[in-house]
Structure 1
Amino acid sequence: MMACTACLAQEDSAVFGLPTATETLIVRSTTDIGVFAPVMLDFLASRPNLAIAYEQWGSNDLATLAASHCAAGSGSADLVISSAVDLQVQLVNNGCAVAHRSPATDALPAARNWRNEIFGITEEPAVLIYNIQLVAPDEVPLSRFDLIDLLRPADSRFVGRVATYDIEASGLGYLFAFMDSLQANTFGRLLEAFGRSGAVATCCSAELIDAVADGRYLIAYNVLGSYALARADKDPRIGVRAPSDYALVLSRAALIPKHAKNVGAAGGFIDFLLSSAGQTALSEARLVVRIGGADGADFDLPGGGPSSLRPIALSPILLAGMDQHKRRIFLDQWRQNLRQK
């Protein structure tokens, strides 16, 4: 992970808070600024002396940058938040985070708090999305089994029209694919179906969602549900559902880097994110997503219901996917079945 930092690319940045603020919290994150801005503004509403300098990064570059600053002993952000939680766990395992403990962090389930150094702040499922205008209701796959069946016929109209993340370019995509390989006895059959039908591996959440909305792809698999739902709220072409066989659930991970300068404000922001007010703000930003069964009430999207949820625990188990030998084998298997865009 120790690549040259000059090669890394920040995607966007913004400063939030009053110009008279006397203190700055530096946050580096994979979360889109437009999605996370209302949450930060809620946090700052009662803190007029604090500003947030927010930097948006791709997950792989963010992890490389954080590791470089950890090794150098300088340049760290005050808080790093990433959807590539395996890369975050690796940073913690390498001694690149400091502990923070509070009633809010103590109340977290074990799957969302490891060593009091990394904290899951959201609940975001991996979902199937589809173009409502181009995919008939009886064609919408409710599960991975349904998706495999859609792709099975040689003359399927879904040939070349299904996409997922390029797991070499997307840390999140790699995480979802690797967790699928551990969770599902359908994984091999799904990869085979992808290969046989010419499924496409492409970049990021926004590109996948745009391509489905435009009709370039009819279905996208394992898309981050928070971004998909936020887009579906504004775009009637996008349909979203959690697979009924099981739904991976990501908790976006926050950590305070070892050499952070504003540890107090970073801990305060973590506590806010875990508070009732913070979780409400995250829910309104579609970063906390509730899944219900077909007849359920009070949920954000249909799926198998609570019994089908498979939370991705923040634990050393995630390091298995980071092993270079295992990663090489897994990527080779993936390349053999998916064509890159």
Structure 2
Amino acid sequence: MIRWIALAVVLLASAMPARADDYEFPASAAPVRMLVVGSTTDIGIIRPVIEAYQRSNPSVAIRYRELTTNALFSEARDACAGKRPADDVVLSSAMDLQVKLVNDGCASTVLRPGLQLLPDYARWRDQLFGLTYEPSVIVYNRRAVAEWEAPVDHFALLDLLRQPDRFTGRIGTYDIESSGLGYLFATLDDQRSSTWGRLIEGMGRNEVKLYCCTQEILDRVADGRLTLGYNVLGSYALAEAREKPELAVIVPSDYTLVLTRAAYVPDNAVNKADAGAFLEFTQGPEGRRILNEEALLFSPLDGADYLFRELGRAGGESRTIRPIALGPALMVGLDQMKRRLFLKQWRDSLGIAED
């Protein structure tokens, strides 16, 4: 009851302003139901999905809460323990943290036909669902790197970084101590690639700059403050490249990790029905059209073709794509001892002093 009263207040002109990272999407029809989404996805990227869902469900008001991966994990963990109200949907790019929350019993089972169609790597226990198909890419500034010398794979990137002084202070990547997504990409690179150790050493020699978020890297590469960005989310990069032609995007040809943005409905969520319907909508015809053509988040169902079409490349090249599967294997890197050792190796390679 308290929640419905709060919603009514939001819909009135006298409503209190939302926090800077909260966005309100009022319902256009009665009776009104509230859906609360906690997410790491930038509002500018996911807004078309929300608005399309509301056109089909005009009685649903949506409160969208945008947080960093680590902040969302902390709040979701507290909600699971009953220390704060739960969101109705928890959506994060930090797949490993999402798996841990579900493994800890925080999620409810969602049996929706549209979600059952997801490939095995994008569905776990009928509780955690991968809604997107997003490659980890290299970006560069076309004014600083000629197309003929652009690194088409991780080995070519290694060679490029050996050029003295050219890239000093001009490379950006995630700060894996503050970015859950960055940590996930780094641990998987370490597990699946023979180049990871040499790459971070090369970036360390070039005084790599570290950032919490994808957009910070993209902004700096696009305006020339950085020359290269490594392990950047391809969905955001491709959307930015549509507007800024000086930004070039490379899907490495030797291997490319593909993230699927994972969502679950908390076991103690208030509005489970609309939460499940929202997740299913993203994989329906209209949801997939928006993911594939507008948001460039792409869908696990058919997004690979759209991804390569956006890149202007043949879909047959998808054989080098390596989707990251949802499941317990992702929690290996979350073991505290292994995390400390991995971060120590990372700091040592980059020349970062201990606090």
* TM-score, with length taken from structure 2: 0.88
What does 1:170-181 align with in structure 2 at a 5 Å threshold? Answer: 170-181=179-190
- Quote the offset at 1:118 in angstroms: 0.2
- Quote the offset at 1:143 in angstroms: 0.6
Contact 2:27–2:54 (CA under 8 A) maintained in structure 1: no
Which residue of the partner structure matches residue 295 of structure 2?
A: 285
- Quote the offset at 1:232 in angstroms: 0.8
Matched, 1:141 2:151: yes
SS of 1:212's partner is: helix
* Counterpart code for 1:220: G
Which residue of the partner structure matches residue 121 of structure 2?
A: 111
Matched, 1:248 2:260: no
How many Å separate the matches in 1 of 2:116 and 2:324?
19
- Quote the offset at 1:193 in angstroms: 1.3
Contact 1:161–1:219 (CA under 8 A) maintained in structure 2: yes
Which residue of the partner structure matches residue 171 of structure 2?
A: 162
How many Å separate the matches in 1 of 2:327 and 2:134?
17
Matched, 1:231 2:240: yes
How many Å separate the matches in 1 of 2:241 and 2:233?
12
- Structure 2: where are the runs of 5+ without partners? 1-18
Residues 76-85 or 20-29, more deviating:
20-29
Which residue of the partner structure matches residue 216 of structure 2?
A: 207
Q: Which of 338, 348, 354 in structure 2 is aligned with 1:326?
A: 338
Offset from partner CA, 1:64-107 (integer Å, 9 cap, x none) = 00000101165000001000111000000000000001211221
Matched, 1:46 2:53: no
Matched, 1:55 2:65: yes
How many Å separate the matches in 2 of 1:68 and 1:86?
17
* Counterpart code for 1:239: A
Which residue of the partner structure matches residue 27 of structure 1?
A: 37
Percentage of pairs with the same residue: 46
Q: Which of 88, 92, 114 in structure 2 is aligned with 1:82?
A: 92
- Quote the offset at 1:301 in angstroms: 5.5
How many Å separate the matches in 1 of 2:99 and 2:207?
34
Q: Give the alignment's Cα RMSD to 1 decimal.
A: 1.9
Which residue of the partner structure matches residue 194 of structure 1?
A: 203
- Residues 35 and 235 of structure 1: is their aligned pair in 2 closer, same or farther, counting only changes over 3 Å? same
Matched, 1:298 2:309: yes
Q: Which of 258, 276, 279 in structure 1 is aligned with 2:285?
A: 276
How many Å separate the matches in 2 of 1:143 and 1:223?
14
Which residue of the partner structure matches residue 325 of structure 2?
A: 313
SS of 1:101's partner is: coil
How many Å separate the matches in 2 of 1:198 and 1:291?
34
- Quote the offset at 1:299 in angstroms: 4.2
Aligned residues: 327
How many Å separate the matches in 1 of 2:149 and 2:246?
15
How many Å separate the matches in 1 of 2:225 and 2:136?
21
- Residues 251 and 215 of structure 1: is their aligned pair in 2 closer, same or farther, counting only changes over 3 Å? same
Contact 1:240–1:301 (CA under 8 A) maintained in structure 2: no
- Quote the offset at 1:19 in angstroms: 5.2
- Residues 277 and 248 of structure 1: is their aligned pair in 2 closer, same or farther, counting only changes over 3 Å? same
Contact 2:40–2:66 (CA under 8 A) maintained in structure 1: yes
Higher helix share: 2
How many Å separate the matches in 2 of 1:54 and 1:186?
39
- Residues 64 and 301 of structure 1: is their aligned pair in 2 closer, same or farther, counting only changes over 3 Å? farther
How many Å separate the matches in 1 of 2:313 and 2:68?
29
SS of 1:319's partner is: helix
- Residues 317 and 74 of structure 1: is their aligned pair in 2 closer, same or farther, counting only changes over 3 Å? same
SS of 1:45's partner is: helix
Which residue of the partner structure matches residue 218 of structure 1?
A: 227
- Residues 297 and 144 of structure 1: is their aligned pair in 2 closer, same or farther, counting only changes over 3 Å? closer
Contact 1:273–1:279 (CA under 8 A) maintained in structure 2: yes
How many Å separate the matches in 2 of 1:298 and 1:243?
16
- Structure 1: where are the runs of 5+ without partners? 1-9
- Quote the offset at 1:189 in angstroms: 1.5
How many Å separate the matches in 1 of 2:62 and 2:345?
42
Contact 1:200–1:339 (CA under 8 A) maintained in structure 2: no
How many Å separate the matches in 2 of 1:104 and 1:98?
17
Which residue of the partner structure matches residue 14 of structure 2?
A: none
How many Å separate the matches in 1 of 2:130 and 2:311?
20
How many Å separate the matches in 1 of 2:161 and 2:308?
32
Higher strand share: 1
Contact 2:133–2:304 (CA under 8 A) maintained in structure 1: no
How many Å separate the matches in 2 of 1:104 and 1:68?
30
